[in-house]
Amino acid sequence: MEKRGSFASRFGVIAAMAGSAVGVGNIWKFPYMVGDNGGSAFIITYLLISLLITAPVLIAEMSLGRMGGQNVLGTFRTLAPKQKAWQGVGWLGLITAFVILSFYSVIAGWSLAFIKDSVIGSFAGKDVAQITADFNGFIASGWQPVAWAIFFLVLTCLIAGSGLQKGIERSSKLLMPLLAVLLIVLVVRSFFLSGFGESVNFLVKPDFSKITPNVMVAALGQSFFSLSVGMGTMLTYGSYVSKKESIVDVVTNVLIADVIIALLAGFAIFPAVFTFDINPTSGPDLVFLTLPSLFAQISGGQIMSILFFVLLFFAAITSAFSLLEVVVAYVTEELKLKRRAAVLVSFVGLAILATLCAMSQMPESALRLGSRNLFDTFDLVSSNVMLPLGGLLIVLFWAWKLPKKRVEEEITNNGTCSTKIFGVLYFLLRYIVPVALVIMFISLNS
Ligand code: PFF
């Protein structure tokens, strides 16, 4: 069997984990959810939930990976050797990684197509209606979104296939700072648009009447998705982290990066939206249909558009590495294949599923489950069922199945760090988080 990899440096760990967290969820989903759910009221709810619920789950998940030192399945087998049922959590994680990565590659593929369109200037002079018509044609062609999604998967597999340190860690260390720079350039440009002031009001001044139970549930689902929690990604990455690293410190850095990037994405996008008096509640269309038409009308817009979609691509590929790693770690360790062979096998499976997802969006496609096409079903089921369920099981395992002493030693590195915060963390994970997750699970699915 191949020697097990590990991350080489602290910055590498943070870049890879923040790379997983910062993704399409931050740049595409977060701004439209803010728009749909009442602006800053949603943001405040989101911040509180991320701090009190999601970050503790992330800490638990990462520490399980470091304790087990293996892929998701192997970790549960090692930590609960006599209770095979817990391996079900590992299987759930593997399936979720497959499901998310297949629709994720389709969205990432769009970002590549939009980079091409921005570079050749095909948005110039077009309004939302024309861009929507072009986009609908692109989706209806079937082969175009499929080709872009597969191209994205090829890039992801080529980089990840060259190794944990050489591929994933090295490229995350490069792409994450670049992503931050691109985003800051975009925010600075947006600062000079007339809608900047209004977007600051929208993003900063809270209207607490907007915080309803539904908004809280939406914020929790988004927070789980955004921090890549509940399916074994962070567990798998955690298994590559040195025993000397403070898990709480790493997670704090990842949380801060994730939140700041999501907020900056809002400040990059909303000024253009308000400058042209567009309703900020245009939902998923916001980034792919509304934004290009707005960029097309401002000076320097073509460059902004290129930078924006390059940024979206960087965000997507570093998240895709982490999803792929869940599968690759499983195939190398359980099925005993070499890394490159494992990546190839995973690629074939993912390419098939991503193709089905992209084709399911064609009009009249038969690839449906009930009233939804496969793409929407995968998106919905992963965020509303698989992640909260996986998160709940991970937390129950950590806080109720494992002895307190065991988890305390892992979080505090045998009493040398994070000793004060452990008590709070344990209380949250044992009582508050499971209850919150059960409530969320029931309300999301009823
Ligand atoms: N966190 C990523 C995003 O915000 O786009 C999505 C994601 C990546 C979800 C990895 C889950 C995961 F395991």
Residue 303 corresponds to which tokens in the numbers above? 């460059």
Angstrom distance (rounded) from CA 390 to CA 393: 5
**Cβ of 56 less than 6 Å from ligand 1:** no
- Chain position carrying tokens 């962070």: 234
> Lowest-pLDDT range, 49-58, 205-214, 243-252, 337-346?
205-214
CA 98–ligand 1 middle distance (angstroms): 12
End-to-end Cα, the chain, rounded Å: 46
Nearest CA to ligand 1 atom 11: 228
Burial class (CB in 10 A: 0-12, 13-18, 19+), 404: exposed
**Cβ of 322 less than 6 Å from ligand 1:** yes
CA 137–ligand 1 middle distance (angstroms): 28
**105 has a pLDDT exceeding 90:** yes
Mean pLDDT of 255-260: 97
| pLDDT-based confidence at residue 209 (cuts at 50, 70, 90) | confident
Q: Which of 228, 350, 380, 382 to mutate to test the pocket of ligand 1 (most atoms within 8 A of CB)?
A: 228
**Cβ of 70 less than 6 Å from ligand 1:** no
**3 has a pLDDT exceeding 80:** no
**Cβ of 21 less than 6 Å from ligand 1:** yes
For the ranges 21-30, 202-211, 399-408, the one whose mean pLDDT is highest: 399-408
**142 has a pLDDT exceeding 60:** yes
**Phi, psi (degrees; rounded to nearest 5) at 369:** -120, 110
Task: Output the CA–CA distances (angstroms, integers) from residue 270 to 296, 299, 365, in the order listed.
Answer: 15, 17, 34
User: What is residue 23's DSSP assignment?
Assistant: S
Mean pLDDT of 341-369: 94
Tell me the per-residue pLDDT of 32-48, one tens digit each, with 9 for 90 and over: 888 888 888 899 999 99
Cβ pair 318, 160 in contact under 8 A = no
CA 129–ligand 1 middle distance (angstroms): 31
CA 228–ligand 1 middle distance (angstroms): 4
Angstrom distance (rounded) from CA 60 to CA 399: 8
Angstrom distance (rounded) from CA 20 to CA 22: 6
Q: Of 27, 440, 16, which is closest to residue 230 (Cα–Cα)?
A: 440
**What number does CATH give the domain 10-444?**
1.10.4160.10
Average pLDDT, the chain: 93
**1 has a pLDDT exceeding 60:** no
Q: Give pLDDT, residue 291.
A: 87
Domains of the chain, residue spans: 10-444
Angstrom distance (rounded) from CA 413 to CA 415: 6
Q: Of 47, 5, 95, which is closest to residue 381 (Cα–Cα)?
A: 95
Angstrom distance (rounded) from CA 71 to CA 40: 39
Tell me the per-residue pLDDT of 287-325, one tens digit each, with 9 for 90 and over: 898 889 888 888 889 999 999 999 999 999 999 999 999
Tell me the per-residue pLDDT of 114-135, one tens digit each, with 9 for 90 and over: 999 999 999 998 988 899 999 9
- Chain position carrying tokens 């050489």: 166
Q: Give pLDDT, residue 308.
A: 94
> pTM of the full predicted structure?
0.95
Angstrom distance (rounded) from CA 37 to CA 31: 10
Tell me the per-residue pLDDT of 156-170, one tens digit each, with 9 for 90 and over: 999 999 999 999 999
User: What is residue 281's DSSP assignment?
Assistant: -
**Cβ of 18 less than 6 Å from ligand 1:** no
| pLDDT-based confidence at residue 249 (cuts at 50, 70, 90) | very high
**Cβ of 360 less than 6 Å from ligand 1:** no
Q: Which of 255, 319, 379 to mutate to test the pocket of ligand 1 (most atoms within 8 A of CB)?
A: 319
**Cβ of 26 less than 6 Å from ligand 1:** yes
Mean pLDDT of 244-252: 97
Residue type, 210: K
Angstrom distance (rounded) from CA 383 to CA 396: 19
| pLDDT-based confidence at residue 2 (cuts at 50, 70, 90) | low
- Chain position carrying tokens 């759910």: 37
More confident residue, 300 or 59: 59
CA 194–ligand 1 middle distance (angstroms): 33
Which atom of ligand 1 is least distant from the CA of 316? Answer: 5
Question: Could you tell me how far CA 335 lies from the centroid of its own chain?
Answer: 27
Q: How many CB atoms lie within 10 A of CB 47?
A: 16
**Cβ of 259 less than 6 Å from ligand 1:** no
CA 97–ligand 1 middle distance (angstroms): 9
Which atom of ligand 1 is least distant from the CA of 322? Answer: 10
